[in-house]
Structure 1
Amino acid sequence: MLEIDLAEALTLIAILAATGAIAGVISGLLGVGGGIVIVPVLFFVFIGLDIEEDVRMHVAVGTSLATIIFTGFISARAHWKKKSVDTALLKSWGPAVAFGVVAGTILGGNVAGEVLTLVFAVVAALVAVNMAFKPAERAAKRRMPRTPLKEILGTIIGVFSVMMGIGGGTLSVPILSFFSYPIRLAVGTASAIGLIIAIPGTLGYAYFGWGLSDLPPLSLGYVNLAGLLAIVPLSMLTAPLGARIAHAIPPTALRYCFAVFLAITSVRMITSIL
C-alpha cells in the first residue's frame, strides 16, 4: 500500500495542477493534447513515489490519454471556431488512425515499461530534429498521398501516438506540414485527431491494467484518477489560450516552439532509461 503524508499529497496535487495548466496551453498551441508534457512529468513523479518500474510508464501513458479526452475537446473546439480543422481529412483519415490506435493499445498494454519509454524518447527526438531543421518551403507543393499510403500514415500515427500517450500532433503536425498544409491548419486538425486517439486508447489501457498489483492508489487499470482529476481542470481552462497564441505568433516561431518542447522531453526520457 502506497503511503503519502498530507504535505506530500498537497505538493503532488500542486505539481499536477501546474502541469495541467502548462499542458492545456501546449495542447492549444501545438495540437499535441498536452501529453508531451504530462507523460514525462507523471513518469518522474511516479519515480519519486516509488511506483514499480513495471507499471509507472504504462500509468503515465494511460493517464495522459485520459486527460487528452478533455483537453483535446476544448482545443479542437477552439480551433474549429477559427476554421482551422480540416473535416474532410478527418473523415478520410479517421478510420485508419483508429485502427492504429487499437493495434498500438494492444501492443503498448503488453510490452515492458522500458519499451514505452524508449518509443516516447526516440520518436520525440526524431520529430524535434525534423521540425527544428526543416528546410524552407519550396515552390512546388506536395499533395497528400492517395490510398493506401494515406491510410498507412494514419495507422502509423495511431500506433505510435497511443504508445506514447500523446494526442497525435507530435506525428500528424510534421506529416501534414510536409504535405504543404499550413501550420495552423495542421495544428487544428491534429487537435481533433487527438480525440480519435485518446478515447479508445484510454479504454484500452484501463482494460490491460485492470486488476494488476503495484498500481498507484485510485487507479482504473493503467489510468490514475488522482492524476486525471488534478490535471484536467486547469488544462481545460488554458487550452483556448494556447489556441489564441497559435493564431497570434508567426508560424516559424510556432514550429520552433514545437521542436524545443519535444527535444527537452526526449532528453529527459532517455536520461531516465540510462
Structure 2
Amino acid sequence: MYETTLWLFSMCLLLGAVVGLLAGLLGIGGGLLVVPALVWLLPKAGIVSHLVMHIALATSLASIVMTSMASARNHFKLGNIDFSVVKILAPGIIVGGLGGSIVAEIIPSDYLPKIFAVIVLCLAIQMLLSMKVINSKPLPNPLACVSSGGIIGLISSLAGIGGGSLTVPYLSYYGIEMRRAIGTSSLVGFLIAVSGMIGFIYAGAGSEALPAFSVGYVYLPALFGIAATSMIATRYGAALVSRLPTPTLKKLFAVLLLVISIKMFLS
C-alpha cells in the first residue's frame, strides 16, 4: 500500500509542476487538468472505481484552496479585488459550492465523468473562440446576482474548478474592468473551493471504502503532491508569459481540453 501511495505522491508532484506552469503561463484553472489526471492516476493506486471521481473533484478543490488563496492575496495587494462584487456574489457562490458536492453525492458515479466532460467541453470552446462580451450595464439586482453566483458555484464544484472561466466572463459582461474581474474572480474561486471542499469532506466522512490518508473525499497524498510543486511552478509560468506565444498556446491547450472532454464522455 505504501509503495503505491508513494508512487501516486511522486506523480502528483509532477502533475502539480505542469499545472502550476500552465496556470502561470496561460491563466487557466488547475482543476481542468487535475481532475482528468487524477481520474487516470487514482485507479492505478488502488482506489476503487466508484470513488475515483469524488476523490478527484474533492482533491482538486482542496488544491485550489491553496493556490487561489495565494492568488487572491497578490491581487489584494494590487487593489484588484472589488469587495462589493464579492459580497453580493458570495451567498450564492457558497451555497452553490456546497450544492455541487451534494449533487455529486446523489448522482450515480458513472455519470460524474460525463458531467465533467460536458462542462470542460463548453469551457474549451469558450477558450478556443476567445469569446469576450463587454457590456456597460451595471450588475443586476442582488437576487439575480445571488442566483448567478449559485450557478457558478454549482458548476465549478461539480467540475472541481475554481470557476475563473465562468466568473471572469460574467463580470466582464457587466462592464467590470478585466484586471479587477480577474482579481475578484481569484477571491470568488477561493470561496467556491472552500465550500466545495467542505461539502466533499462531509459527504465522504465515515466511508469505510476510502483509502488511508483521506479526509472525507480529499486524498492527502495527492493534495500535498500537487500543492507542493504547483505554487512554485506558477511563478515560472508567469515569467514565461512575455517570452512565449501565449495566445497560440492557449488555443492548443483548449484543443487538448476538447480531446480530454470527448474521451471522458465516451469512456
Scaled by the length of structure 2, the TM-score of the pair is 0.85
Is 1:74 paired with 2:70? yes
Distance 1:67 1:210 in 2: 19
Once structures 1 and 2 are overlaid, which stretch shifts more, 83-92 or 67-76? 83-92
The AA in structure 2 aligned to 1:18 is L
Partner residue of 2:105 out of 102, 109, 112: 109
Secondary structure of residue in 2 paired with 1:159: helix
Is 1:42 paired with 2:38? yes
Identify if the C-alpha distance between structure 1 residues 148 and 251 changes in structure 2 by more than 3 Å, giving closer, same or farther: farther
Secondary structure of residue in 2 paired with 1:127: helix
Identify if the C-alpha distance between structure 1 residues 47 and 237 changes in structure 2 by more than 3 Å, giving closer, same or farther: same
Equivalent residue for 1:205? 200
Is 1:145 paired with 2:140? yes
Partner residue of 1:51 out of 27, 47, 54: 47
The AA in structure 1 aligned to 2:180 is L
Structure 2 unaligned residues grouped into runs of 5+? none
Is 1:133 paired with 2:152? no
Q: How far off its partner does 1:137 sit?
A: 5.6
The AA in structure 1 aligned to 2:47 is I
Once structures 1 and 2 are overlaid, which stretch shifts more, 114-123 or 156-165? 114-123
Secondary structure of residue in 2 paired with 1:230: helix
The AA in structure 2 aligned to 1:113 is S
Q: RMSD of the TM alignment (CA)?
A: 3.0
Q: How far off its partner does 1:88 sit?
A: 2.2
Secondary structure of residue in 1 paired with 2:141: coil
Does structure 1 conserve the Cα–Cα contact (< 8 Å) formed by 2:132 and 2:169?
Answer: no
Does structure 2 conserve the Cα–Cα contact (< 8 Å) formed by 1:31 and 1:187?
Answer: no
Percent identity, aligned pairs only, is 34
Identify if the C-alpha distance between structure 1 residues 245 and 153 changes in structure 2 by more than 3 Å, giving closer, same or farther: farther
Distance 2:96 2:244 in 1: 33
Equivalent residue for 1:60? 56
The AA in structure 1 aligned to 2:112 is L
Distance 1:136 1:222 in 2: 36
Identify if the C-alpha distance between structure 1 residues 97 and 136 changes in structure 2 by more than 3 Å, giving closer, same or farther: closer
Identify if the C-alpha distance between structure 1 residues 261 and 57 changes in structure 2 by more than 3 Å, giving closer, same or farther: same
Q: How far off its partner does 1:145 sit?
A: 2.8
Partner residue of 2:96 out of 95, 100, 124: 100
Is 1:266 paired with 2:261? yes
Equivalent residue for 2:166? 171
Partner residue of 1:120 out of 108, 116, 119: 116
Is 1:229 paired with 2:215? no
Distance 1:168 1:260 in 2: 19
Does structure 1 conserve the Cα–Cα contact (< 8 Å) formed by 2:213 and 2:221?
Answer: yes
Distance 1:258 1:171 in 2: 17
Equivalent residue for 2:213? 218
Distance 1:132 1:38 in 2: 20
Distance 1:84 1:252 in 2: 23
The AA in structure 2 aligned to 1:214 is A
Identify if the C-alpha distance between structure 1 residues 136 and 151 changes in structure 2 by more than 3 Å, giving closer, same or farther: closer
Equivalent residue for 2:156? 161
Distance 1:265 1:93 in 2: 31
Secondary structure of residue in 2 paired with 1:166: coil
Q: How far off its partner does 1:73 sit?
A: 0.8
The AA in structure 2 aligned to 1:209 is G
Scaled by the length of structure 1, the TM-score of the pair is 0.83
| Per-residue Cα deviation, 1:10-55 (whole angstroms, up to 9, x for no partner) | 5433320121122234445566541111111111101323422211
Does structure 2 conserve the Cα–Cα contact (< 8 Å) formed by 1:31 and 1:75?
Answer: no
Does structure 1 conserve the Cα–Cα contact (< 8 Å) formed by 2:94 and 2:153?
Answer: yes
Once structures 1 and 2 are overlaid, which stretch shifts more, 106-115 or 190-199? 106-115
